[in-house]
């Protein structure tokens, strides 16, 4: 197995303190980024570049990545100039009323500078190279029997509704439904640029507390469901030796022993070196099931390679919001109280119905903000 072009998600780049304690190399880099931004802007107007699709596409991507950093840097420089101008005015002999106005503007500019500094630091944080990718998600029923399987179905619908709200394309890759309408497991893809950046925090154990419809005494049961979020990768990024694969075919079956068809269309692929097993049976075509199984396998191998390449990443993740740790309890959905609690950041929202209907932005924004804050703290600590 070969993994091409893996860029480790967490960089060792140190982010210096900005403002009164300027770090020269940071500002040199920002000035270089501004110069490069202007250079690309000029080149994008060159007819020879416009007519070269590959070069134009490459430059546009770099331009888009640089733009928010350069614009924020320019805003930072402007606010700094406003502060210098105000200080210079205060050194002059001013009327009391005008002096008070300048002091108020100076205080306002200092507050603005702190805000812009923080925003600039966030923009300078190393990016997770997987953030722009589509995802493959796995939802598996855990403790709780049929009740866990039913809640797996609820979570699947929640992510479907979220994808619909954002006009993202969703496709079921494999499923193992139960007779009551739940899932022992379901695997699906969400095809959209940036899907991983929003959904990566969902990996982990999701707990539900509710009264099952089959419970006559009205007791609250606790069940668990495990969610895994994998970045989707292309064939060229993960090379798999066919000799490392054991491929079995069998007859696909549904809930209650119902056969989807009468041919051996289901596919089970075992990657012998790692022991990873992937099964697909939702399509009637053996070829399509094999294609989907390979798609899932590539993502699993890619994730495994990332973790194996850098143990340091796994340690760093533990100090963040838990991306990728499937054994971590991440969230509780409490039906009697209409409450959803994310345990990693201590966020509790009393809007269970809305969240289960796909209204997840508030949770995702809070998780991303917390992740950024922790990375900033780690960067500051490493500079001390």
The string of pLDDT tens digits covering residues 25-52 is 566 678 888 999 999 999 998 999 989 9
Q: Which helix (H) or strand (E) holds 148?
A: helix 146-165
Q: Once rounded to an integer, what is the mean pLDDT over residues 77-97?
A: 88
- We report the CATH number of the domain holding residue 326 as 3.30.70.1660
The model's pTM: 0.68
Q: Decide if 172 contacts 187 (C-beta within 8 A).
A: yes
Q: Tell me the per-residue pLDDT of 263-277, one tens digit each, with 9 for 90 and over.
A: 567 888 899 888 888
Of the three residues 105, 124, 143, the one that is the final residue of a domain is 124
Q: Tell me the per-residue pLDDT of 355-374, one tens digit each, with 9 for 90 and over.
A: 999 999 999 999 988 888 87
- At 64 the pLDDT is 87
Q: Tell whether 236 and 353 lie within a shared domain.
A: yes
Q: Tell whether 197 and 250 lie within a shared domain.
A: yes
- At 314 the pLDDT is 47
Residue 352 structure tokens: 């269970």
Confidence of residue 119 (pLDDT cuts 50, 70, 90): confident
Confidence of residue 102 (pLDDT cuts 50, 70, 90): confident
Q: Decide if 207 contacts 332 (C-beta within 8 A).
A: yes
Q: Once rounded to an integer, what is the mean pLDDT over residues 321-349?
A: 82
- Please report whether residue 381 resides in a domain: no
Number of domains in the chain: 2
Reduced to 3 states (helix: H, G, I; strand: E, B; else coil), residue 142 is coil
Closest alpha carbon to 320 in 116, 156, 125: 125
Classify 27 in phi/psi space as left (phi over 0), alpha (psi -120 to 50) or beta.
alpha
All residues at 6 or more sequence positions from 170 whose CB lies less than 8 Å from its CB, including other chains: 159, 160, 163, 164, 188, 189, 190, 191
Q: Tell whether 223 and 153 lie within a shared domain.
A: yes
Mean pLDDT of the chain: 81
15 has pLDDT over 70: no
Q: Tell me the per-residue pLDDT of 217-260, one tens digit each, with 9 for 90 and over.
A: 678 889 999 999 988 887 666 778 888 888 888 876 655 444 44
4 has pLDDT over 70: no
Residues of the domain holding 95: 2-124
Of the three residues 101, 124, 147, the one that is the final residue of a domain is 124
> Which residues in 100-128 are b (16+ Cβ under 10 Å) and which e?
eebeeebeebeebbeebbeebbbebbeeb
Of the three residues 124, 159, 185, the one that is the final residue of a domain is 124
């Amino acid at each position: 197995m070969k993994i091409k072009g893996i860029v480790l998600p967490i960089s060792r780049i140190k982010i210096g303190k900005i403002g009164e304690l300027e770090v020269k190399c940071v500002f040199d880099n920002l000035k270089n980024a501004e110069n490069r931004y202007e250079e690309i802007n000029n080149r994008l107007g060159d007819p020879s570049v416009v007519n070269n699709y590959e070069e134009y596409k490459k430059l546009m991507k770099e331009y888009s990545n640089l733009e928010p950093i350069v614009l924020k840097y320019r805003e930072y420089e402007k606010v700094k100039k406003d502060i210098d101008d105000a200080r210079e005015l205060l050194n002059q002999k001013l009327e009391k009323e005008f002096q008070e106005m300048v002091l108020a503007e100076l205080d306002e500019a200092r507050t603005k500078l702190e805000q812009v500094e923080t925003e600039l630091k966030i923009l300078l944080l190393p990016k997770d190279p997987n953030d722009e990718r589509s995802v493959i998600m796995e939802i598996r029923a855990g403790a709780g029997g049929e009740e866990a399987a039913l809640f797996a179905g609820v979570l699947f619908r929640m992510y479907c509704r979220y994808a619909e709200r954002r006009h993202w394309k969703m496709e079921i890759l494999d499923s193992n439904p139960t007779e009551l309408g739940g899932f022992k497991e379901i695997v699906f893809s969400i095809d959209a640029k940036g899907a991983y950046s929003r959904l990566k925090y969902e990996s982990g154990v999701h707990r539900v507390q509710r009264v099952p419809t089959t419970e006559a005494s009205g007791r609250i049961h606790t069940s668990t469901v495990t969610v895994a979020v994998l970045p989707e990768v292309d064939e060229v990024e993960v090379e798999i030796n066919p000799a490392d694969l054991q491929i079995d075919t069998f007859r696909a079956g549904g809930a209650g022993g119902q056969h989807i068809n009468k041919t051996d269309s289901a596919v089970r692929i075992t990657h012998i070196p790692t022991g990873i097993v992937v099964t697909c049976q939702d399509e009637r075509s053996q070829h399509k099931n094999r294609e989907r199984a390979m798609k899932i396998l590539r993502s699993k191998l890619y994730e495994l390679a990332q973790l194996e390449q850098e143990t340091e990443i796994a340690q760093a993740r533990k100090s963040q919001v838990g991306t990728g740790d499937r054994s971590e309890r991440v969230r509780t959905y409490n039906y009697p109280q209409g409450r959803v609690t994310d345990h990693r950041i201590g966020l509790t929202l009393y809007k269970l119905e809305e969240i289960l209907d796909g209204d997840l932005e508030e949770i995702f924004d809070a998780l991303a903000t917390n992740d950024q804050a922790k990375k900033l703290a780690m960067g500051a600590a490493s500079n001390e």
